[in-house]
Structure 1
Amino acid sequence: MKKLSSPDSVTFPGKPTQFSAECWFDDACILDMDYFVKTISGIKAKGVRPDLIGSIIAHYASKWLPDLAYEDANKGLTNFEESPESVTASWMKKRFFVETLVGILPPEKDSLPCNFFLRLLRTANMVNVEPAYREELEKRISWQLDQASLKELMIPSFSHTCGTLLDVELVSRLVKKFVHLDIEGAKSGAALVKVAKLVDCYLAEAAMDSNLSLSEFVALAGALPSHARATDDGLYRAIDTYLKAHPEVTKQERKSLCRLIDSRKLSPEASLHAAQNDRLPVRAVIQVLFSEQAKLNKQLDWSGSFSGIRSPNIGFDPSAARCLSKREVGAQQMEIRKLREEVLRLQSQCNAMQVQIEKLVEKKKGTFFRWKKLGIIPSIKSGSISVVDRIVEGDREGEAAFGRQTPIDLKTKLVRGKNSNTPKHRQWRKSLDS
């Protein structure tokens, strides 16, 4: 029997592995299932890591059932499809094989990926294994449901009593078990959000089936708590798809579907689509419009709190609740940018004018003192204080040294300053004496 050079080199199928070159078991081990089970039991007793044991089981399963492999081209030596036996005998072997694999699975949660468990469950439902083995697989899948992909989750329904193409009841059971783990604290909030997105995508695919009943859709959509969905856009898309594929849905049933949606969690694009959706009842559309109006009022109040102005509580206006498109938002941003540039340009012009005014005022100050000697006071203003006021203040300061001068005193001073010996002055004094 061949052995691996390093047990750590064993990985999951679909990733780099050394099984093709150096396999620690030969084809005889693959053909003899009992021998393989004994070998796995011996490996577990040796204390090998659970993920390595899981990779060995996955590789062994891909040899027997190519459907469980990551690539269908990886077909084994004992493929059931190539067996010359009857279909019934082939299905009985598949059932025994699946039940054997479930019995030797490592008890650890992360020993095998969730997608492998989903493919194994698909085969188990197809060959109708015992309910105990099916429940074990469903439990293992619910532990890692946040790691599942939509493609592997779309398991067809093999029951003749079910009219839908997909096994919606199975997914509902998986989601409920996962939510129960979340309530117990075994799962984080991020894992719950991933499962909510996965469920919404699954609902959008299952809603296209005309045989999907309203009760099944509501049961799966309502299996998650309200806080699991950060946004209800995916759920709204699934409900809209269901209404398209089921035009015979009554008005009351439409109302029950729309109750699943929280209009406050819709994005502006989804709210705009819902406001124009004729398939939704009028009450649901009004709720969407009111929610958008409330969002706009909150934004206005938040922006007004910085400027000190609180927006008034205006009445309901359907036009104000309309969501703007990307083109309209871009046009508004361009307009705001232009206004900012215009304000900056006007501000620079105002600064330049202010500088020129200050220069003119400085020149006027120099000429004012020359006018003051002649008794002329020009009415020139500089800023908020006029030049006349400055002149009055200057005169008040001069009163302390020279006293208050009246117009008569000023006239007397001017007359005395002239030459009193001129003939004209003598004649003027004679006329006063006479």
Structure 2
Amino acid sequence: MKNQSQPESKPSSQSEGLIDDACILDIDFFVKTLSGIKSKGVCPDLIASIITHYAAKWLPDDLSSNDAVQPQSVVAVSWMKKRFFVETLIGVLPREKTSIPCDFLLRLLRTANMVGVGPTSRRELEKRISWRLEEASLKELMIPSFGLGRTCGTALDVEVVIRLVKGFVGLDGSSSSEAAMLKVAKLVDFYLAEAAMDANLSLCEFVTLASALPAHARATDDGLYRAVDTYLKVHPGLSKQERKGLCRLIDSGKLTLEASLHAAQNERLPVRAVIQVLFSEQTKLLTRHMDRGLEQPARCVSKREMMNGQQMEMKKLREDVVRLEGQCNALQVQMERMMVEKKTKKMGGMFKWRRKLGMSKSVMGVEKKEEGDDGDDGVEEERETPMDMKARLVKGRRSHKWRRSIS
């Protein structure tokens, strides 16, 4: 083992010298130097380390120039040089699939999209990333969108991730193993949860990326459920049919108990989706119960009896689901009817109060008018003279004396 480890230390010291010689500013001289290194039979991994070291040293400085304070003609020439620089780097990448780290390729893709490289160079770079997509990190996968169709510069480029995932799925079975597929599925679900917080993300883009992976790619759908719930929360204006279509992406049978409990109390989910989650949990409980029953040695049950019992339980669960769905729909219709009746009753009471108020005003007007007429007649009929008043007073005094005399 010691004899084998000693030769490996020599290429590392040689690579440092090659990297220092290759790290020159002019990209043309770099390509010529790299060709000379390749002609010496250097391994592809060493070539890859030279390219990554060169790009890490010169690419950030080349792209950090302040173009805002320069004339437009100078800016155009500068961006052409940047585009040529990136396209040249893509062209000299080794053909081996495992030579370049995936995160470096993603950073190069981010720069390529920013400077607007040609479609051929972009397809080549995306193909290389798809080869090793299971090694990508979420941070490097979140590439900003530099397209003209986006109003927000920080929006994620979901379309490029869709192409990367489809390219990964389209590989042969040896390249995309089951373990790699599980890693990519988890990465996509985390990416969807982050992208769902963008209010400008369309439903079509979300559904396309979520369904780009096959059904067997996800061990659990907890990550996908979290992404769907985030999208529903950020986009409350979705119609009922759109929410149903979005929830069809989730396999309720792949949700864990914690996710199922959250979904059963989630008001943002359609009623049918919640019922489906409850039905799946009941099925899981039934299956576990039957498995425990089969493990008991004292109980001897034939396979046919077990299948018949399971079918009966499944039929009963389906009937319960249909019954619950009917009750939910009936309750929803009843609530809508009560709201309409309440609104109608409120409007009818308002109109009735207005009619009553108008009638009372008219009656009061008539009474006032009648009282005014009677008052005028009384003044004319009962008008007294000073002599009449004197006679009435004298008569009153006599009556008082008469009362005192009687007492």
TM-score range, shorter chain: 0.5 to 0.7
Cα RMSD of the aligned pairs, angstroms, is 2.4
Cα 1:79–1:203 shift into 2, 3 Å: closer
Matches within 5 A, 1:85-164: 86-163=74-151
Matched, 1:240 2:229: yes
User: 1:282 is matched with which residue?
Assistant: 271
In the alignment, the residues of structure 1 paired with residue 24 and residue 131 of structure 2 have an alpha-carbon distance, to the nearest angstrom, of: 29
Which shows bigger deviation, 87-96 or 233-242?
Answer: 87-96
Mapped contact 1:221–1:260 kept (Cα < 8 A): yes
In the alignment, the residues of structure 2 paired with residue 24 and residue 272 of structure 1 have an alpha-carbon distance, to the nearest angstrom, of: 56
Does the residue aligned with 1:240 lie in a helix, a strand or coil? Answer: helix
TM-score normalised to the size of structure 2? 0.67
TM-score normalised to the size of structure 1? 0.63
Matched, 1:180 2:170: yes
In the alignment, the residues of structure 2 paired with residue 261 and residue 6 of structure 1 have an alpha-carbon distance, to the nearest angstrom, of: 53
Which of the numbers 41, 44, 47 marks the counterpart of 1:53?
Answer: 47
Matched, 1:8 2:12: yes
Which of the numbers 241, 258, 262 marks the counterpart of 1:273?
Answer: 262
Say which structure, 1 or 2, has more relative contact order (CA 8 Å, 6+ apart): 2
Consecutive unaligned residues in structure 2, runs of 5 or more: 1-8, 322-407
Deviations 1:225-281 (A, max 9, x none): 000001000000000000000000111001101111111100000001011111111
In the alignment, the residues of structure 2 paired with residue 79 and residue 63 of structure 1 have an alpha-carbon distance, to the nearest angstrom, of: 11
Count of residues in correspondence between the two structures: 293
Mapped contact 1:251–1:281 kept (Cα < 8 A): yes
Mapped contact 2:44–2:94 kept (Cα < 8 A): yes
Consecutive unaligned residues in structure 1, runs of 5 or more: 11-17, 67-75, 319-434
Does the residue aligned with 2:276 lie in a helix, a strand or coil? Answer: helix
Does the residue aligned with 1:157 lie in a helix, a strand or coil? Answer: coil
Percent of aligned pairs sharing the same letter: 66
Does the residue aligned with 2:291 lie in a helix, a strand or coil? Answer: helix
User: 1:348 is matched with which residue?
Assistant: none
Q: How far has the Cα of 1:166 moved from its partner? A: 0.6
Bigger Rg, which one? 1
In the alignment, the residues of structure 2 paired with residue 235 and residue 247 of structure 1 have an alpha-carbon distance, to the nearest angstrom, of: 18
In the alignment, the residues of structure 2 paired with residue 140 and residue 9 of structure 1 have an alpha-carbon distance, to the nearest angstrom, of: 28
Mapped contact 2:105–2:125 kept (Cα < 8 A): yes
Q: How far has the Cα of 1:163 moved from its partner? A: 4.8
In the alignment, the residues of structure 2 paired with residue 230 and residue 293 of structure 1 have an alpha-carbon distance, to the nearest angstrom, of: 20
Matched, 1:253 2:260: no
Mapped contact 2:18–2:50 kept (Cα < 8 A): no
Does the residue aligned with 1:155 lie in a helix, a strand or coil? Answer: coil
Matches within 5 A, 1:357-368: none
Matched, 1:211 2:215: no
Q: How far has the Cα of 1:155 moved from its partner? A: 0.4
Cα 1:79–1:162 shift into 2, 3 Å: closer
In the alignment, the residues of structure 1 paired with residue 169 and residue 51 of structure 2 have an alpha-carbon distance, to the nearest angstrom, of: 29
Deviations 1:1-42 (A, max 9, x none): xxxx932347xxxxxxx84xx565448x51222111111111
User: 1:193 is matched with which residue?
Assistant: 182
Cα 1:199–1:9 shift into 2, 3 Å: farther
In the alignment, the residues of structure 2 paired with residue 283 and residue 132 of structure 1 have an alpha-carbon distance, to the nearest angstrom, of: 46
Mapped contact 2:63–2:82 kept (Cα < 8 A): no
Q: How far has the Cα of 1:79 moved from its partner? A: 7.1
Matched, 1:44 2:32: no
Which shows bigger deviation, 110-119 or 39-48?
Answer: 39-48
User: 1:262 is matched with which residue?
Assistant: 251
Mapped contact 1:63–1:79 kept (Cα < 8 A): no
In the alignment, the residues of structure 2 paired with residue 98 and residue 213 of structure 1 have an alpha-carbon distance, to the nearest angstrom, of: 31
Cα 1:105–1:261 shift into 2, 3 Å: same
Q: Give 1:213's aligned amino acid.
A: S
In the alignment, the residues of structure 2 paired with residue 26 and residue 9 of structure 1 have an alpha-carbon distance, to the nearest angstrom, of: 13
Q: Give 2:160's aligned amino acid.
A: L
Which shows bigger deviation, 184-193 or 55-64?
Answer: 184-193
